[in-house]
Structure 1
Amino acid sequence: MERVEKRPKLVSFRALAFHGENKGPANGAEAWTIQLTQNIEVGLAVPTAAGGTLQAVVKMTLIAEAANDGKQDKKASFNAEYEAKFDYPAAVTEAEAMALMEPEPYQYVLVAQAFPLAMTHFRREMQSMGFDARQLPLGI
């Protein structure tokens, strides 16, 4: 089991891009089918300058395609990219961080912290475009 002093701390979360198209009516009375696709990458960022901080990085791409159940010509699409950065304490070496990053449960813990932030933003942006996205999950 890892020691608490080696855990990275979430220091940055940001939306890198969002694009959406919803040209259908925003009356909320029509039923839509949503297909959500997610691509999540977890990696280790090693500083190039001396004294820099090791970081765990989580990058997410979310893509939602929606179709009106009654009318196949009415479609909506949304895609976004997000990035979360976690700083390791200064005492953690690159070898230690690489060993920590290998197990899937460790990566899951990092993703589980960033995913709800990304999904909250994604759902809010879809809502601002007149699309009811309450059926999309907030957690993984």
Structure 2
Amino acid sequence: MEALNVRPKLVSFRATRFHGENPVSTQKAQPLTLELTQTIEVGLAIETEKENQFQAIVKIDFVATAKQADSGEKAAEFTAGYEAKYEYPAGVVEEQVAPLFEQEVYQYMLVSQSFPLAMTHFRRELQSFGVDARMLPLGI
């Protein structure tokens, strides 16, 4: 009997939300410090439109706060959410996939493919608000 390949394929990546406010005057450049908080969730789902089509879902949330370097006063805040969906091949059953999700290395594999996509978009959005975000990491 031939073994099924249970490697998921990235089929969808999207920004689910972005909100930012930068009310700081742009008359002269000011040094800012940027604090980033990230929340990452990994889960297993079943596609409702396809019978027994399993998906891995990675959700990434960012909260960045820009503070004035000299006073520590909050200057701007940005939040964003991202979602990556991976589909498993047809015929894969839960008994094959569920044990994989218990392994940190497997979860890391899914997140390490999604995180750079989310961070690239987030950095671009911060830069469009006038915040230099080049120091934020592209990888986890």
Q: Same fold (TM over 0.5)?
A: yes
What's the counterpart of residue 110 of structure 2? 110
Question: Structure 2 CA distance, aligned partners of 1:28 and 1:54?
Answer: 52
Conserved 8 A contact 1:5-1:89: yes
Conserved 8 A contact 2:10-2:86: yes
Question: Structure 2 CA distance, aligned partners of 1:105 and 1:74?
Answer: 37
What's the counterpart of residue 31 of structure 2? 31
Percent of pairs with identical residues: 55
Conserved 8 A contact 1:46-1:94: no
Structure 1: stretches of 5+ with no match in the other structure: none
Question: Structure 1 CA distance, aligned partners of 2:52 and 2:123?
Answer: 35
Query: Do structure 1's residue 70 and structure 2's residue 59 form an aligned pair?
Result: no
Cα distance change on mapping 1:122 and 1:49 into 2, 3 Å: closer
Conserved 8 A contact 2:14-2:82: yes
Secondary structure of the 1:14 match is: strand
Question: Structure 2 CA distance, aligned partners of 1:87 and 1:23?
Answer: 41
Q: Normalising by the residue count of structure 1, what TM-score does the alignment of the two structures yield?
A: 0.90
List per-residue Cα deviations over 1:21-80 (Å, max 9, x = no partner). Answer: 111144784221111100000000023456242000000100101101124445111110
Question: Structure 2 CA distance, aligned partners of 1:10 and 1:26?
Answer: 40
Question: Structure 1 CA distance, aligned partners of 2:131 and 2:21?
Answer: 10
What's the counterpart of residue 92 of structure 2? 92
Question: Structure 1 CA distance, aligned partners of 2:110 and 2:91?
Answer: 20
Deviation at 1:128, TM superposition (A): 0.7
Conserved 8 A contact 2:65-2:74: no
Structure 2: stretches of 5+ with no match in the other structure: none
Q: Normalising by the residue count of structure 2, what TM-score does the alignment of the two structures yield?
A: 0.90
Choose 19-28 or 113-122, whichever is displaced more.
Answer: 19-28
